[in-house]
């Protein structure tokens, strides 16, 4: 590959990756519109279903890569809708713990099904080898970024999104 073609591809890689992530999330939004959920509300519900409960509000903000005040407003909405429960952390009175309510657990199941459906639809023509190669590239990029890793060496973002929505660009 010519040097100018390589540099052009490198310049467009991040932009294309971000575009794909946004388009992927819009597909999930579309599938969840009947539930009255938007990306802002379904992502916290999804992450609360993936993380062991209860989750510190600050940890959830970090996992979602959003600012704590923005998350607090989203959680206010979810709490008013009866989808989450927040309590004070007994170990740190300044911190709040968040968990899904029974109604939130039912919605989380719907969110996970929508994410799984979108993943299946969008990855239908991608071979297992192609997907494995893509993950290898993601791993190298995350390593270059100095992404934190769990005890098994997997990137934390992958650990959070483990299971049926591992391919979901939750960014």
Please report, for the chain, the start and end positions of each structural domain, with discontinuous segments joined by +.
11-160
Assign 56 to helix, strand or coil.
strand
Instruction: Report the run of H or E that residue 97 belongs to, with start and end.
Output: strand 96-100
Give the pLDDT of residue 149: 61
- Determine the Cα–Cα distance for residues 44 and 36; give it in Å rounded to an integer: 14
What are the mean pLDDT values of the chain's consecutive 10-residue runs (171 residues total)? 77 93 94 89 95 94 93 96 95 92 96 96 97 95 79 57 41 41
- CATH code linked to domain 11-160: 1.10.10.10
- Determine the Cα–Cα distance for residues 115 and 94; give it in Å rounded to an integer: 34
Give the pLDDT of residue 157: 56
- Prior bond to 8 cis, omega within 30? no
Give the pLDDT of residue 162: 42
Assign 164 to helix, strand or coil.
coil
Assign 166 to helix, strand or coil.
coil
Tell me the chain's radius of gyration from C-alpha atoms.
18
Give the pLDDT of residue 121: 97
């Amino acid at each position: 590959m010519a040097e100018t073609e390589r540099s052009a591809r490198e310049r467009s890689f991040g932009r294309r990756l971000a575009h794909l992530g946004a388009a992927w999330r819009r597909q999930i939004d579309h599938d969840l519109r009947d539930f009255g959920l938007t990306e802002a509300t379904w992502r916290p519900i999804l992450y609360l279903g993936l993380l062991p409960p209860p989750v510190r509000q600050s940890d959830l903000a970090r996992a979602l890569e959003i600012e704590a005040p923005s998350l607090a407003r989203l959680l206010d909405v979810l709490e008013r809708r009866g989808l989450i429960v927040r309590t004070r952390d007994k170990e740190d009175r300044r911190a709040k713990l968040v968990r899904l309510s029974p109604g939130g657990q039912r919605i989380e199941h719907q969110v996970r099904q929508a994410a799984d459906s979108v993943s299946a639809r969008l990855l239908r023509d991608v071979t297992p080898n192609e997907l494995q190669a893509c993950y290898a590239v993601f791993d190298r990029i995350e390593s270059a970024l100095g992404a934190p890793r769990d005890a098994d060496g997997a990137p934390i973002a992958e650990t959070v999104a483990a299971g049926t929505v591992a391919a979901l660009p939750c960014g």
